[in-house]
Amino acid sequence: MNIEIKRPKFYPLGHLDNKSNLKRISRVFPDGSIIERVYLDVPNIRHREHLICIHYLRHITRHFLQDYIGVEIISRDDPWDFKIKLSNGLVFNIEITSIADNSKHFENNKKEERYAKWATEENIPLHQLIKLVIFFPDKEVSQIILDHKSNGILEDEMVANPYYPPKNTLFISTLYDSNKKLTDLLINVIDKKINKKHTDKENTILIIDNRTGAYDMDEYYEALENIHPLVHEWPFPEVWLYTGYYSDDTGNDAEFSFAPLKTTPDQSEILEKMMNSDKVDESGRYIWP
């Protein structure tokens, strides 16, 4: 029996062979249908933010600046995620936040990222090994932990890592239904950033890292229409919904998309021209190159 696996519109266009930092997730629904998604998967959150920052700079250079640009990261987490200076004189902040369908998805992501991070280490603190086996029960690893404890190994001591070297791992989890519309998730996360006491919001680019699985292009367009009356109230000059699919550790061999929620007048003019070009597919996606 052939099983048809559907793909959402938020899906990479390039081949995935030998690509880095990606995760495939197949969602199996009660009617037997399957939807496969591909996500950017980076265990270290700071490195993930760094890659998203690089992808944004590639995005604006390609479509808006259209020139060779030098980049200097002036500061990190002070107080915004990045303070950037470009060789053309522009200085601005970048703040990255994320959304997921359900808080359980955030928890699952964190657990899987913890596993992926430690699987690359030949040795591991015993307390970290204990956490991993709580998250991902394994009788053999549980016995290894008991043996270490009976031998007087303290929880802060390093032990041989039974998960090393990394292997292809299949995670199975419950499909948590989203109880909110994409519009509500976006408004909520943007309002949280607006309410922060940090200054210089009018010079800060807000990027929303899309880690959802229940929403696709139709929900994005619905959200775009719903938030339109609110956009002028946001202090941020640009707000983008970022969806990452894969990337090498330099941010170069990568595929990602930036869907605008709020843009500057100059960007809006360029985006309108892009949408009227022959590079737009039937879903309204501008394909580059």
With beta carbons less than 8 A apart as the criterion, state whether 203 and 258 touch: no
Structural Rg of the chain based on CA atoms: 21
- 271 falls in which pLDDT band (50, 70, 90)? very high
Q: What is the pLDDT of residue 176?
A: 59
What are the residue ranges spanned by the domains of the chain? 8-98, 103-170
pLDDT band at 229 (very low <50, low <70, confident <90, very high): very high
Say what the pTM is: 0.82
Give per-residue pLDDT as tens, 240-259.
999 999 999 999 999 999 99
Q: Is 225 helix (H, G, I), strand (E, B) or coil?
A: helix
pLDDT value of position 243: 97
Q: Which of 58-67, 171-180, 181-190 has the lowest mean pLDDT?
A: 171-180
Quickly count: other Cβ atoms within 10 Å of residue 97's Cβ: 14
Q: How far is Cα 15 from Cα 7, in angstroms, rounded to an integer?
A: 14
| Per-residue pLDDT at 55 exceeds 90 | yes
In tens, the pLDDT along 258-269 reads: 999 999 999 999
What are the CA-CA distances from residue 206 to residues 53, 134, 237 (Å)? 11, 36, 8
Q: What pLDDT, on a 0 to 100 scale, did the predictor assign at position 217?
A: 93
Residue 205 has a pLDDT of 98
Query: pLDDT digits over 155-180, tens only?
Result: 999 999 999 998 877 777 766 566 78
pLDDT computed for residue 218 by the predictor:
94
| 162 burial type by CB count under 10 A (0-12 exposed, 13-18 middle, 19+ buried) | middle
**Average confidence (pLDDT) over 53-57:** 98
pLDDT given at position 116: 83
pLDDT, tens digit (0-9, with 9 covering 90-100), for 89-145: 999 999 999 998 866 766 777 788 888 888 889 999 999 999 999 999 999 999 999
Q: What is the rounded CA–CA span in Å between residue 235 and residue 223?
A: 19
> Of 60, 84, 73, which Cα lies nearest the Cα of 264?
60
Distance CA 174, CA 147 (A): 32
> pLDDT for 6-20, tens place per residue?
899 999 998 999 999
Crossing angle of helices 103-118 and 126-135, rounded to 10°: 140
Give residue 213's pLDDT.
84
Question: For a pLDDT cut of 90, what percent of the chain falls above it?
Answer: 72
Indicate whether 1 pLDDT > 60. Answer: no
Task: Write b or e for each residue in 264-285: b if 16 or more Cβ atoms lie within 10 A of its Cβ, otherwise e.
Answer: eeebeeeeeeeeeeeeeeeeeb
Strand, coil or helix: what is 169?
coil
Contacts of 135 by beta carbon, 8 Å cutoff, 6+ apart? 111, 114, 115
Q: What is the residue type of 106?
A: F
The pLDDT confidence band at residue 289, using thresholds 50, 70 and 90, is: low
- pLDDT for 106 equals 67
